[in-house]
Each structure stands twice: as C-alpha cells, then as structure tokens.
Copies of this chain bind each other. A is one copy, B any other.
Amino acid sequence: MIDKTKFKKDLALVRKNAPLVHNITNYVAMNNTANALLAIGASPVMIHGQEEAADMAAIAGALVLNIGTIEGYWLKAMILAGESARAHKHPIVLDPVGIGATPYRAVACKEIIEKCAPAVIRGNASEIIALVKTGAKTKGVDSTDSSDDAVDSAKILAKNTGAVVVVSGPTDYITDGTRVECVKNGNPLMARVTAMGCTASAIVGAFVAVNPDAFEASVHAMAAMGICGEAAAEKAEGNGTMQLYFLDKMCALDDAMIDKYLKA
C-alpha cells in the first residue's frame, strides 16, 4: 500500500531541490530522459567522457547507468563515474537494458554491480530474471516474461546485491528483498514508446536523490511514471503523441493528480 503522504512529500522535494541527476545512458533514451527529468523538476546532466565522468558524479545527487548502447569506452566511463559516486555516497541506479541479448551485457552488468554497488536496479521482467539466471536469454530489449513471474528473481537479486530491485510491467514490483510493493498504474501504450523504461530509471534517480530510503524512492518514482502514463494515454492516439503527453503530464503532476489516479 503506497503511502500517499510520503509520495507527495518526495515529489515536493524533487520540485524544490531540483536534484542534479547524472546520466550515462543510451543514445536512444537521452533526449526523452532529459526532458522527463526536467518535467519532474530535476536537473539532468548527460556526461560520459572518461576525462570528466568521475568529476561529474562527485557533485551530482544521483547517478543513472544504462547499458542500452554500451561499448567498451562507455563501460569504462560508467565504472569511473560509479566508483566516484560510490566514494561520495551518492546513490546509483542501474538499468540492465537487454541484458540477456548478448554475453557482453551480462559481463558489463556484473562489473558495474560489483564495482559500483547500485542502490537500485530497474528492469523489465526478462531483464531481472536474466540478471539472476545468467544463462537466461531475452529477445532483444523488449520483455517476454511477465513482471509477476519475476518477483522471486527480484527478491533474490535484491538479497544478492543489496540493491532495491524494480520490475517494470503492467504491474510494477519493487522489493528490497524483504518488503514488496506494487504499482498498478500505467497503460499498455507506454510499452510502445521507446526508452520508457530508461525514463523510469532516470526518474528513480531523481527520487533517490531526495529520499535516502531507496525502496520508498523507487516506489514513488514508479507511481509517478504510472500515473503520468495513464493520464497521457487518455488522449494519446499512438506512440507519437503518447511520448509528448507523457512529458506534459509529468510537468503537471501534483497532489491532485496523485489523489485522482493513484491505485491503492
């Protein structure tokens, strides 16, 4: 059961503090991610150069690492930034995009988890399952497993890594290995907008930058995503307008929208 008062408090904090969220993310998601962070009230930075990734992570409120279009140069930059964020006790969010698609992705995620100790790992069901059963295969970057099935894997992953694990899907599940919360808001059209999952990870970054309880922060971030997606879908006519109305709704998100939309 999501605590509305705490959710509203975190949203107010994001809007008031405008936390600097440092993203080392994929090319597809960068523009959407930056706009979603601006819409929720955060201050996005996309910096991946090995010359400066650690410097940036040292001063940002949170770091979001996303392996969507990973390659060796970027992985090294992620490690540099992640180790810096860790040293400064800034929370890290890991998005293991398409981890089951190729062996390299599994290796990359393993290195990031070991060296950077993410506070939150967010993926779809296939990705979370693949992170646990390293032999698992996914079909590209879209999910072929249901998020419900992934809850057990999420708990194991949370216990193994110490991270809060978020499984996105028609119902989102958030667990720290003991507690499990679910977010029932959302709309199927969200899955047809590219980088919507990556955007969710970035929004988790904004909330975890203002609330040190990564479990609560993740629940609130996913609830914000679901509410805005649901509200946007009311007038969207396809994934084109959906993408834009989603951002508009994230700009508009307030206590009244939470009261109207949040599913208990």
Contact = CB atoms under 8 A, between A and B. Distances in A.
A248 B252 contact: no
A43 B142 CA distance: 7
Interface stretch (A95-103, A150-158, A175-183): A95-103
Interface string A45-76: 11111111001100110000000111111000
Interface residues of A, number: 63
A31 B194 contact: yes
A51 B141 CA distance: 17
Copies in the assembly, this chain? 3
A237 B31 CA distance: 19
A217 interface: no
A193 B244 CA distance: 11
A34 B195 contact: yes
Given A48-B71, A192-B251, 17 more contacts: A28-B46, A31-B32, A35-B193, A39-B192, A43-B141, A49-B69, A52-B70, A52-B105, A55-B101, A59-B101, A238-B247, A238-B251, A239-B248, A240-B244, A240-B245, A240-B248, A243-B244
